[in-house]
Amino acid sequence: MSGSEDVIGFKPVVVVVGPTAVGKSRLAVRLAKRLQTEVLAADSRQVYRGMDIGTDKPTPEERAGVPHRLIDLVDPDETFNAGMYRRAALPEIERLHGEGRLPLVVGGTGLYVRTLLRGLCEGPKADPMFRAQLEEEARRRGPEALHRELTRVDPESAARLHPHDRVKVVRALEVYHLLGRPLSSIHQSHGFGERPFTPLLIGLTREREALYRRIEERVDAQLARGLVDEVRGLLTKGYDRRLSSLKGLGYRQIAAYLDGDCGYAEAVRLLKRDTRRFAKRQLTWFRKEPGILWLSLAEDESEERIVDKVMTMIEQFLAGLGRQAQVDTLSGRTVAAGVTAG
RNA sequence: GCCGAGGUAGCUCAGUUGGCAGAGCACAGCCCUGAAAAGGCUGGUGUCGACAGUUCGAUUCUGUCCCUCGGCA
């Protein structure tokens, strides 16, 4: 079933979010089978080709019969970012709608999910040369110098950003440099106000302790599957540790070990710790994202039962859309594509 | 049983010549508009082993007891 064809005027999208290792990917495969649709990843790391174990991509077996999109889009030394993700994802969603299927977005990259559901402001694309220049300046004169510069051209952004937050200070300066307009004014007029779809947002969570245990187990499993060899292979191919792709969890810590910065046990400890911290940051992000229906998973809960629960939520969601469409037709209003559901 | 060392945060430990208890790690809370698994900010969570004594005031000094680790029996 898909059901999206009976809700004329709406563009429904089901989105499953949650912290790393909560169990999103496995659930996604089962859900996609039941919905006869495809999995659209919202994951800033799985876009890199050749980075499979460390990003915990679904295995070929898991992907058999269930197409996965928005994975393996670029090589590790290519730039990728939220804007590129959005440009790649929107056509996939449109295509599925055209085929009468319900798009299923699954991922833990909060910003990517947000760019789909609420848009991305019309800022200029990243300019690597200019960024490198600013980075050099930060090294020479300290990060505070960049922040002082920002205070001159965009006092609002400067007030919002901590002087040490180099990445975001550089982006704000870049926007002003390319556009002659402060980033803050662009944000203000955008405000994440777009509503291109009618989403059902499902957040998966677990008790903190259980989640942390799953993270440790998953890291151990990744190591058993050959994470060290995967990282070594990337370094041998000439990919630099400073690449954004290799600064991700797993790659950063194992590359440090391979370069002799620390011992193996220490690298594993740090990887587990950093992954726990990451999961915590994800929870902070999603907690304040509006409209998420939270589903707390019990440790002994079977995958079949979880799928049933989520399917019930999806059916109710679609039924609600049907009623809403009827009401709107009766009252003679034009149904705008993008009525808020949350 | 005797002798010695110790008991302070979740862990390892520092410290108070008697005056609101502090480091690292661990952890918790938060920010985020083309780097987002990135980047950044904030926070000490405590019956100082227990009971009694001295004192205006004891985690600190004294006594008794309990526990841990060594050594000797």
**pLDDT tens sequence for chain A (342 residues):** 444 444 556 899 999 999 999 999 999 999 999 999 999 999 999 999 999 999 999 999 999 989 999 999 999 999 999 999 999 999 999 999 999 999 999 999 999 999 999 999 999 999 999 999 999 999 888 888 999 999 999 999 999 999 999 999 999 999 999 999 999 999 999 999 999 999 999 999 999 989 999 999 999 999 999 999 999 999 999 999 999 999 999 999 999 999 999 899 889 999 999 999 999 999 999 999 999 999 999 988 999 999 999 999 999 999 998 887 666 555 544 333 333 333
ipTM of the complex: 0.89
Tokens describing residue A111: 């910003």
Phi, psi dihedral angles at A180 (to 5 degrees): 70, 20
* Distance in angstroms (rounded) separating the CA atoms of residues A112 and A247: 18
* Residue closest to A276 by CA, chosen among A208, A203, A202, A207: A208
**For residue A173, how far is the Cα from the chain centroid?**
25
- Taking the C-alpha atoms of residue A26 and residue A107, their distance in angstroms, rounded to an integer, is 12
> How many CB atoms lie under 10 A from the CB of residue A266?
13
Q: Which nucleotide is nearest to A119 (CA to C1')?
A: B33
State the distance between the two ends of chain A, measured CA to CA, in whole angstroms: 24
**In the 240-269 stretch of chain A, whose C-beta falls under 7 Å of nucleic acid strand B?**
244, 247-250, 252
**Protein-contacted bases of chain B (C-beta within 7 A):** 25-41
Give yes or no for CB of A280 within 7 Å of strand B: yes
Token pair, residue A83, equals 């804007």
pLDDT confidence of residue A1: 44
Strand B, CB < 7 A, residues 49-88 of A: 54-56, 79-84
* DSSP category for residue A150: H
How far, in Å, is the CA of A232 from the C1' of nucleotide B29? Answer: 37
Check whether residue A18 has its CB closer than 7 Å to nucleic acid strand B: no
